[in-house]
Amino acid sequence: MRLDPPPPLHVRLLGGFRVERVGAAPPVCWQRRAAKALVKLLATCPRHALHREQVLEILWRDADAESARNSFGKALHAARRALEPELLPREGSAYVRLSDSMVALDTRHVSIDADRFELLAQRALRRDDPPVYEAALVEYGGELLPEDRYEDWCTERRGFLAEIHVRLLLALADALERRGACTAAEDRLREAVRHDPTREDVHRRLMIMYASAGTRDRAVRQFHYCRDAMRRELGLAPQGETVALYQDILADRIPVPTSPRSSLLATA
């Protein structure tokens, strides 16, 4: 029977899969790819729990029922051994539980970076405080499981977190611009279109900011960047609103305010 509390287990999904058992040795070593996939799946899914039949359908869809159940059993055993190599025979895992056909990560001992990012982001979006936005953005380590980009089971979660990340950047840009920190606001808008180059609304905001600052050449380049990204990513042309704005910029119809704010942007 386990007497001491298990070391906390940190699962990282953002920017690539990593697992760390705090203060424990040896490091996690995966002997089976299926064991690693099982932990990824549980860390990604809602509530971090799935019925065994759901796991079989996702990870062993093309196998017959008996082979799939056998593969699941081996993967579960290997996952527990990878996370807790000191486990005794028949001893229950502190991290991966199987009960009444439900397999789950025990979140009393397992933390997941994607969950922490989502929590901080949702809190930040309810406020209007740049440091709170910044603290949430620090937690975004990159795309969720980029090594599994073409796996259907993590597509929805990846897109959801990526959209929250862009929303944070845009909200922070708004807050910074209202406070007169226009150069910093530009930086956040540029970061947003790096992550999602098809966001025409963000391209338009940058075009307006550049033109208003008297840097029409930058506004024109931003339109070309937008047009190229739309063609490359979606096979589409920019929307009429974006084209109309571009034409206004070429015709020098975007007013340039005579204020310190304009000067600050022009020197960025």
pLDDT tens per residue across span 36-48: 999 999 999 989 9
Same fold, 9-111 and 180-268: no
User: How does 223-242 read in b/e, with b if 16+ C-beta sit within 10 Å?
Assistant: bebbbebbeeeeeeebeeeb
Tell me, what's the pLDDT at 164? 96
Radius of gyration of the chain (CA): 24
Token pair in block for residue 169: 């950047």
Which one, of 153, 47, 178, lies nearest residue 106 by Cα?
47
- As a CATH number, domain 180-268 is 1.25.40.10
Collect the ranges in the chain with pLDDT lower than 70. Answer: 1-3, 24-26, 257-268
Q: Where are the chain's structural domains?
A: 9-111, 180-268
pLDDT tens per residue across span 149-186: 999 999 999 999 999 999 999 999 999 999 989 999 99
* In this structure, CATH architecture of domain 9-111: Orthogonal Bundle (1.10)
Residues ≥6 apart with Cβ < 8 Å to 107: 48
For the chain, give the longest Cα–Cα distance: 78
Tell me, what's the pLDDT at 259? 53
Tell me, what's the pLDDT at 25? 66
Tell me, what's the pLDDT at 118? 97
